[in-house]
Amino acid sequence: MTRIVAISGSRSGASTTRAALRVALGAAADVGAETDLIDLGRVELPLYHPDEDEQGDSERLTRRVREADGVLVGTPVYHGSYSSTFKNFHDFCGSEEYEDTAVGLLATAGGGSYGGTLEHLRSTFRNVHAWTVPHEVGIRGASSEIDEEGRIRDGDLRRRTEQLGRVVTEHAERMRE
């Protein structure tokens, strides 16, 4: 069975990033994937230190990524880039975790701009030998687009988010062959 893990780079309790990733994971599960969510706001992960092998939950979390066939990455937009929470976790990971892995990108913006964030993510994943799928999702005004129950209000945006989960699953399956 194809394993898809989502990584939420938000620390917010009412995270629109986490909610959108759950929509994408639901679509991945609908096409037969086994799914998992790493919520970085709820783990013990101190600042990355290159002289220490394991810190906090780092080994357990990186193993979950390494064992995945596909990864969905979501982050809120901070200053035109991704969150420090995601960056810190990403520093624990390398090509061992992502090589030959299909990765789908998702960014949630409080305002209207998410393009730089998606570009920064693509660049960092390229450097750890991941294969980012061409389909990606940016959500402008995310707090207005995602309700309190985690549902995406706009039908087109919901379909694009679901498609992200399906596309990552499809490419992960192809890469396993």
Low pLDDT (below 50) residues in the chain? none
pLDDT at 53: 79
Read off the pTM. 0.96
| Short-list 68, 72, 12, 71, CA closest to 40 | 12
pLDDT at 176: 82
Are 173 and 32 contacting, i.e. CB atoms less than 8 angstroms apart? no
